[in-house]
Structure 1
Amino acid sequence: MEWFGNSSKSFDFDMFSRSHLIVVAIFLIITVAIFLNRKKMKSGIWRKIEISAALSLILFEITYHVWMYVNHDWKFSRSLPLELCNISLILCVILLLTKKKLVFEILFFTALLGASQAILTPALSYDFPHFRFFHFFYAHIMVVWVTLYFTWVKGYHPTFRSVIKLIVFINLLLPVILAINKWTNGNYWFLRHKPKGPSLFDALGPYPWYILSLEGLLVVLSLIAWLIFRKWEKEHHKDHSRSPVA
């Protein structure tokens, strides 16, 4: 059961190592496959796959918390599912189970801006074949795949209002996260201090101004993502309208 233990001596993760690059390659290949086969993925069997994917994410997450508890690593100050990637996973499960458009609108931005970045630059200590390696990449990759699946296959798409909804969602959560940080002496969303190591936060100004800078950056990146998708959608519909009618 060493692969499930807490010792990272035999599982030190290195960014852009062979195991990391293999995972990124699999992620990109299946992403392209989803896009190329988007018209074929509309049969009723995919509803069962959606439910199975939601249950697998729930099972993985429960197992992760059990792993932390067994290894005496579960703490209120850092183990609650409150980081944006955790919230994205929760939204992903809700979307798979309910297919609610509102959930997709928020997940679209948190997944593509957060989870995709985590896949490319993971904050991870455990390498293959440790459980934590599988949990980290499975959770983040599935969040992105589910988002793209609902975009390309199910026909969901973000709008400018989606960006507004994201901003409202983040700012409604902000005081809750601040209160939980105070209660647990935690640093969720890095709202109490910056990460200890070098990071993007260093370019966003001193505390507490970097919080405003970070929110401004989120808005700008969300608008860019929406504009890119809007342009792709227009070109897609233009090409579709030009295609001969059978």
Structure 2
Amino acid sequence: MYWSNNSDSPPFVAFSSSHWIMLALFFFGIFLLVKGSILIQTHPPLEHSLRGFFFILLLGSEISYQVWTAANGVWNPADHLPLHLCGIASIVAATALLTNYEKLIQIAFFIGLTPAMLALITPELPYDFPHFRFFKFFIHHMIISWASLFLVLTRPVSIRFRVVLEVFIVLNLYALLIYPLNRLWNANYLYLNKRPEAATLLDFFGDGINYLISLEVTALFVFIIQWLWYAYGLNKYRSNKK
């Protein structure tokens, strides 16, 4: 495995064989969690083991990344704090794994499951397999999504439609906190100032105020679609299995 920031590891290429393998692994994990949700719920040792496994990987991924940036002399507050959506989702999910607090589980479900999946489909990643950054990115984002789903599958959490609006408001309040930090550090957390370097759906969002409006509309749309999947797909599937 390559470690250096200026290594001979090949650059990441979207939808290369290594990318497809990671995506297949991710969706297989989602499938196993959904299919095995009743088994997990009825076997506390398995549930506790998965909970600890997810927590350790979430914590280890973030710590190892901070160590990597410091060791390679590239750390700076503009790029390497866990303030992007997936970074905050990781912190929220890890805390929810420890506390089982319902509000945190609800927030993690909406900001962790689909955003991490979209990041896996269109990664902003400098190096391909077998670089440390490749492993860290895919492991971290897989676990964010898996843990967010795991929490909803294994805890008696109610996610009504009003939760969609509540989480959307929380996300906007967080964006208001991030905006001045972006100005202070010349950063781009939450991609509020500009689109990411990698090719993503954000490339179609335009510029300026149109870009910000598109971010808002898309976030709310994704939350609603995710809630519909939860309410009319996931819940019905679990009810039929009981």
Q: For residue 53 of structure 1, what is the aligned residue in structure 2?
A: 54
Letter in 2 for 1:14: V
For structure 1, the residue ranges without an aligned partner over 5 or more in a row are: none
The 1:211–1:136 alpha-carbon spacing in structure 2 relative to 1, beyond 3 Å, is: same
What is the CA–CA distance in structure 2 between the aligned matches of 1:123 and 1:179, rounded to whole Å?
A: 24
Matches within 5 A, 1:27-42: 27-42=26-41
**Superposition map of 1:26-175 within 5 A:** 26-42=25-41, 43-45=43-45, 46-175=47-176
1:186-242 deviation digits (Å, cap 9, x = unpaired) = 1212222334565433432320331122111111221121122211156337646xx
What is the rounded CA distance, in whole Å, between the counterparts of 1:239 and 1:31 in structure 2?
19
**1:121, distance to aligned residue in structure 2 (A):** 1.8
Task: Describe the SS at the equivalent of 1:40.
Answer: helix
The farther-off stretch of 26-35 and 190-199 is 190-199
> 1:86, 1:105 → 2: CA distance?
16
Q: Name the counterpart of 2:22.
A: 23
Unmatched tracts of structure 2, length 5 or more: none
**Quick one: distance in 2 between partners of 1:9 and 1:38?**
42
The answer to whether the Cα contact below 8 Å between 1:8 and 1:125 also exists between their aligned partners in 2 is no
Residue type at the aligned position of 2:23: V
SS of the residue 1:3 aligns to:
coil
Q: What is the CA–CA distance in structure 2 between the aligned matches of 1:180 and 1:204, rounded to whole Å?
A: 23
Q: Given that residues 123 and 198 in structure 2 are in contact (C-alpha distance below 8 angstroms), is that contact kept between their aligned partners in structure 1?
A: no
Aligned mates of 2:137, 2:147 — CA distance in 1:
16
Instruction: Give yes or no for contact 2:97–2:151 (8 Å, CA) kept in 1.
Output: no
Change (3 A) 1:235 1:160: same
Amino acid at match of 2:44: G
In the alignment, the residues of structure 1 paired with residue 18 and residue 94 of structure 2 have an alpha-carbon distance, to the nearest angstrom, of 27
Contact 1:84 1:114 in 2 (8 A): yes
Query: Structure 2 length as normaliser, TM-score?
Result: 0.89
Q: After TM superposition, what 4+ stretches of structure 1 lie above 4 angstroms from structure 2?
A: 196-199
Q: CA 1:228/1:131 → structure 2, altered by over 3 Å: closer, same or farther?
A: same
Residues 174 and 237 of structure 1: CA distance in aligned 2, closer, same or farther (over 3 Å): closer
Residues 1:11 and 1:49: Cα distance change in structure 2 (over 3 Å): same
Residue 88 of structure 2 aligns with an amino acid whose one-letter code is: I
Q: Which structure has the larger Rg?
A: 1
Aligned residues: 240
Q: What is the identity, as a one-letter code, of the residue corresponding to 1:168? A: I
* Deviation for aligned residue 1:48: 4.2
Deviates further, 83-92 or 3-12: 3-12
Equivalent pair of 2:96/2:105 in contact (CA under 8 Å): yes
- Scaled by the length of structure 1, the TM-score of the pair is 0.88
**Counterpart for residue 6 of structure 1:** 5
More deviation in 48-57 or 142-151? 48-57
Aligned positions of 1:214-233 closer than 5 A:
214-233=215-234
1:125 to partner: Cα distance: 1.5
- Quote the Cα distance in structure 2 between the aligned partners of 1:115 and 1:66: 22
What residue number does 2:193 align with?
Answer: 192
Structure 1 CA distance for aligned equivalents of residues 187 and 238 of structure 2: 47
SS at match of 1:125: coil
In structure 2, relative to structure 1, the CA distance for the partners of 1:153 and 1:77 (3 Å cut) is same
